[in-house]
Structure 1
Amino acid sequence: MSNFFNYSSFPGIRPRSGADTADMSRSGAVRRIAADVVVAAGVLALFGVVAWLLPQINEPIGPSGVPSTVSDDLHLLPYYALRSVFRMFIALFLSLVFSFIYGLAAARCRRLRMVLIPLLDILQSVPILGFLSATVTIWMVLFPGSILGVEAASIFAIFTSQAWNMTFSFYHSLLSEPQELDEAARSMQLTRWQRFWKLDVPNSMIPLLWNCMMSVGGGWFFLTASEMISVNNRTYALPGLGSFVAVASEHEQLGKVLWAIVTMVIVVLLIDVLLWKPLTAWAEKFRITQNESVQDKTSLVLSILRRSGISDALALVGRPIADLMFWLTRPLGRTGARWPAAGTRRRTLDIAFMALMAVACLAGLWMLVRFISDGEGFAEVGHAMVLGLITFMRVTLLTVVCSIIWVPIGVKIGMNPRISRFAQPLVQVLASFPSNFTFPFVTLWFIAWHIDISWGSILLMSLGTQWYILFNVIAGASAIPDDLREATRAFHLDTRQRWTKLILPAVFGSWCTGGITAAGGAWNASIVSEIVTYGHTTLTANGLGTYIANATAVGDTGKTIIGVAVMSVFVVGVNRLFWRPLQAYAERRFSVA
């Protein structure tokens, strides 16, 4: 056989010799060492930056107290960027932990779900300024004499802009787990800890990852409000990009605002290259499919990590931790077979639980009514309801228009890895970029073109909330199993049939999740969109956002509570009457099972 092939006839093909194999081995070893060096340098740099920043966020408060402004020196922009990114990712980590605990409790316990999901609607509807006005003093008391109290308040504010949509995403992923995988976990009697890491988290990975990206974008949008905290007639300023832009806008220094925008774009691109792109490429292995992706997503950073020995090091450290957690979580029980609960006992417990919740809700409502009657009066509530109706119409128009625009675009990006490779960085820049950085320029444009802020505020609100719809649709489209895509091609379905039979049903649940978070985000964004300021020029639109912003700035607690309560009523009412039925329909008709 060795003489059967004449390799001289094929110049591009020749048998590998021992020298070739040795060369390849040496080349692989060199690449492995280079990858190890790069990864080690990156890890050391990360820990070095964190170690450098930690002492600075725990500095004692000076004799004059917490500063009410920051320097607008351009040389401080890199430092401000590091401080902002540090806050952002601490808040993201806390949001992820919160999403796991809260979403798991709501999905696994039917009675808790009846309380936790409506409560999540209320939490989502409470604006960031509402959280800040109620918690800044608490954080200052917890960390007396230290700037850490204001830092904690800022991180908590960013957390409230990130956690809710991540929790919604994880919760709905748990409810839509494929039945065969659920039965497999039960038949193997996995412990609850094992099921969480082997089924729950992997099944939710793709949509949760995209919502993490969107949460960071939401955090950037409220960066100015979280770094330049103005409550109760007092301002607390922290070093960061948001506070820098606020000071530059106040001084009408558009050049410095532009430099902050350039810095922000660089930060977003670096985060995309170093974090989001590797994670989205890695998360492809969690797609539910029997075929390989048509075109795998690639990432240079992920390739370097895989070539290095970091996976072996993590496995060496992680295996004892995993074994320890297995033994510690054994008392939580195993995922066993489904056993129907006794009918009479179940109904009795349900009635008792609902009665307890009803008493708690009535007690809270009675306290609120007494507070209003002793303070502002119910005429003020009626005024806030009218303003809420105006903002509600803006939110509704925004949601409809953004859905019409971004659903087709999100499907195109999510179903085509080639387009996703180039579109994802652009989408990341647009979504993660804090659009309120551009508000000074938009304000000047509104003034020059005589645009009514009542309509212009819809544009400002959309700049920060439309991406919830786009990101969730991208996640839903990218998670469509290749088997179903192949089936549509095998049956020669035309474009209309593919959209009605596969695409729209597949992304409908993701659109619902994006729609409910976009609407909630729009209500929050109304606070910074219905009243915009540049220098000595202020444009104000009638609406609930303006009402809450003005009440919070002057420390009017009564009006702040009324505004937050009215906003909660609108958001929870729309969620209960519109979004929840749509989500239930999506889970019933369009889940992969």
Structure 2
Amino acid sequence: MLPVYALLSLLRMTFAYIFSLIFSLSIGILAAKNEKAEHIIIPLLDVLQSIPILGFFPIAIIFFINLFGSYIGAEISSIFLIFTSQVWNMTFGVYEAVKLIPRDVEEMARVYNIGRFLYVRKILVPATMTKLIYNSAMSWGGGWFFLYASEIISVGNAQISLPGLGSLLALSLMESPPRIDVALLSVLVTMFLVSFTYLFIWRPLIEWSENFKYEYSAGERRRIRLFEIPRVRIPPFLYRSFFRAIRYISKLPLRNFMARLGGILRSRAVIIRRVFFLLLTAFIVYAVVKTALSITPESISSEYIKEPDLVLMASLNSIRRVLAVLLISLSWTVPVSLLVGRGKHWNEFMLIFEIAASFPIPVLWPFLVRYIVLPLGEGGFEVAAITLALFGAQFYLLFNSLAGVRSIPSDLEEMRRVFLVKGALYFRKIVIPGMFPSIVTGLITAWGGAWNSLIVAEYIKVGEEIFPSKKSQYGLGTLLSIAAWEKGDVSSVIFITAVLTIIIITINRTFWRFLYNYSAKFRVE
């Protein structure tokens, strides 16, 4: 059964990533190129990327399950929840990449009156490739990280467990006593899938994305082919077999078929558009009516409304933990990015980072409880919570910082060698300014990742034991997890998500927006 579970989880991950890719390219480019849309989309994304995955449970339950039934609705809900753990980081990467397109490229497009479709295909999409592929690798890992929360759907007192590696891991840890052997086996299979996808998909794509880096000098640079076999310390025949299969598939006579299909679609574009919007409108009306009929007065009242002191205390605890996570992440990811980003062992480190970013943290719960929480008491839970939240936040900052180091134009490196700029001056005047926009993007996505991780960090369940045991240590993640997993209380999930949204909007508008605008001063022209 384990191979079947692995295949099902992989399929859910793939569908979620495809939807994330379409969303990030369309919305990210729209936000970067349309100022009116930017003022709406970016604040909205700031909020959405900070809402924990359980905050989207009401949409999954009220909308998808009521609309499509328990099984199909649960499958769609699972894909949607994985989508919410992948898409925001990718969208911010696309937005940043388009905003940092040099002005002379934009001027060239205007002077030569390049058409809209050609402008998107030849300038905007290529400009996003480096950031999009780096962030895709990170988002793919984030999807595996939250897989266990996406494959178990609680509806009232009922619990729908979809067959997959995530549900297998979560259910094995909820048994009394916990089935550590089953949990470790599911983790090993997950690590194998993560390693395979990185070595055979993300690594070649990362190498290929170097072709799209803007250069400002005329020096010769070898173009990297998409399916070029990179040097790696594993048997070469594995790479050869895999990429030969890909080349064979790419040579199949699909181009003529796609050209004919494109011509048919263009010739009937108006009719297709009208039929699509008609069907979409009918579906939305049907969904709204069916959802409205399922809402009762009891379903919109939360017990947390009667406990404002508990909610306030939980909010302050969560804010404190998130700030600690950001400071710790910043203290080590930027120095490591500087050391690894231009080193000889770049690919080996990237594989390690990808595996670490995808590691399912719930498997650490029994060990953290036994060796940290129980011996140290209240302080032990704080250490465990911050440690768990770090795994969900620090790699966003690391991957963005690495992308910033790798995206520094080579002509600046040539200038540095000519003028003998080195040491502290080199880092202060070239490296740090060059990667500063990426650091800011990483901090914003890590901020969202930290809030997302609170559902893992502030609610630890091993067998029949639940931590934290004292309400004074509760965080918003604790309240959200109790409402979603133990009670299936949709109204309480909505209420805690609303509180979380208010906190996020306040901090985003007062701090992160200022920092993002300030980082635009470091764009290379």
Q: TM-score, normalization: structure 2?
A: 0.84
- Pairing 1:87–2:12 present: yes
Equivalent residue number for residue 139 of structure 2: 215
Instruction: Note the alpha carbon deviations across 1:182-232, whole angstroms, 9 max, x for none.
Output: 112222222222211211111111111111111111111111110112242
Q: What displacement does 1:438 show?
A: 2.6
Q: Give SS of 1:415's match.
A: coil
Answer with 291-300 or 185-194: which moved more: 291-300
What does residue range 61-460 of structure 1 map to in structure 2 within 5 Å? 76-144=1-69, 147-251=71-175, 252-289=178-215, 290=217, 291=219, 299=230, 301=239, 304=243, 308=247, 313=252, 316-317=255-256, 320=259, 324=263, 380-381=307-308, 383-416=310-343, 418-447=344-373, 449-450=375-376, 452-460=380-388
Question: How much has 1:283 moved relative to structure 2?
Answer: 1.1
1:569 aligns with 2:502: yes
Determine if contact 1:385/1:566 at 8 Å carries over to the other structure.
no
Q: What does residue 281 of structure 2 align with?
A: none
- Residue aligned with 1:103, SS: helix
Q: Which residue of 1 aligns with 2:392?
A: 464
Report the Cα offset of residue 79 of structure 1.
Answer: 1.5
C-alpha distance in structure 2 between counterparts of 1:292 and 1:311, whole Å:
29
Greater Cα offset, 90-99 or 134-143: 134-143
Query: Which one of the candidate residues 438, 441, 451 is aligned to 1:513?
Result: 441
CA separation of 1:119 and 1:329: change in aligned 2, threshold 3 A: farther
Give the partner amino acid of 1:269.
S
Post-superposition shift, 1:555?
3.5
Q: Counterparts of 1:433 and 1:219 in 2: how far apart (Å)? A: 10
Q: Write the distance in 2 (CA, Å) between the matches of 1:491 and 1:322.
A: 56
The answer to whether the Cα contact below 8 Å between 2:52 and 2:454 also exists between their aligned partners in 1 is no
Kindly state the Cα deviation for residue 131 of structure 1 after the two structures are TM-superposed: 1.0
Letter in 2 for 1:110: E
- Letter of the structure 2 residue corresponding to residue 491 of structure 1: F
Cα distance change of structure 1 residues 377 and 78 upon mapping to structure 2, 3 Å threshold:
closer
CA distance, structure 1, for counterparts of residue 389 and residue 189 of structure 2 = 23
Q: 1:558 deviation in Å?
A: 4.1
Aligned Cα RMSD in Å? 3.0
CA deviations 1:486-508 (Å, max 9, x no partner) are 21122212221111111111111
Name the CA shift for 1:242/1:484 in 2 (closer, same or farther; >3 Å): same
Q: Percent identity?
A: 34
Q: Identify the structure with bigger relative contact order (alpha carbons < 8 Å, sequence gap 6+).
A: 2
Q: SS at 1:235's partner residue?
A: strand
Q: Secondary structure at the match of 2:114?
A: coil
Specify the SS of the correspondent of 1:125. coil
Residues of 2 paired with 1:314 and 1:281: CA distance? 27
Q: Paired residue for 2:413?
A: 485
1:476 pairs with one of 404, 407, 428:
404
Query: 2:293 — aligned with what?
Result: none
- 1:550 matches 2:473: no
* Mapped partners of 1:324, 1:497: distance in 2: 56
**Distance change (3 Å), C-alpha of 1:262 and 1:329:** same
3-state SS, counterpart of residue 147 of structure 1: helix
Q: Which amino acid aligns with 1:412?
A: L
One-letter identity of the residue aligned with 1:454: E
Opposite residue 369 of structure 2, the aligned amino acid is T
Looking at structure 1, the residues matched to 397 and 153 of structure 2 have their Cα atoms a distance apart, in angstroms, of 29
- Distance change (3 Å), C-alpha of 1:226 and 1:372: closer
The aligned runs of 1:518-529 (5 Å cut-off) are 518-529=446-457
Query: Is the contact between residue 93 and residue 132 of structure 2 (CA under 8 Å) also seen in structure 1?
Result: yes
CA contact (8 A) 1:132 1:231 kept: no
1:581 and 2:514 aligned: yes
Q: Which of these two proteins has the greater Rg computed from alpha carbons? A: 1
- The residue aligned with 1:36 is none
Q: How far does residue 178 in structure 1 lie from its aligned partner after superposition?
A: 0.8
CA contact (8 A) 1:281 1:298 kept: no
Give the number of aligned pairs.
477
CA contact (8 A) 1:191 1:330 kept: no
SS in 2 for 1:230: strand
How do 1:534-545 and structure 2 match up within 5 A? Answer: 534-540=462-468, 541-545=473-477
| C-alpha contact 1:133 1:231 (8 A) present in aligned 2 | no
1:442-464 CA distance string (max 9 Å, x none): 23322454352123201010012
Aligned amino acid, residue 185 of structure 1: A
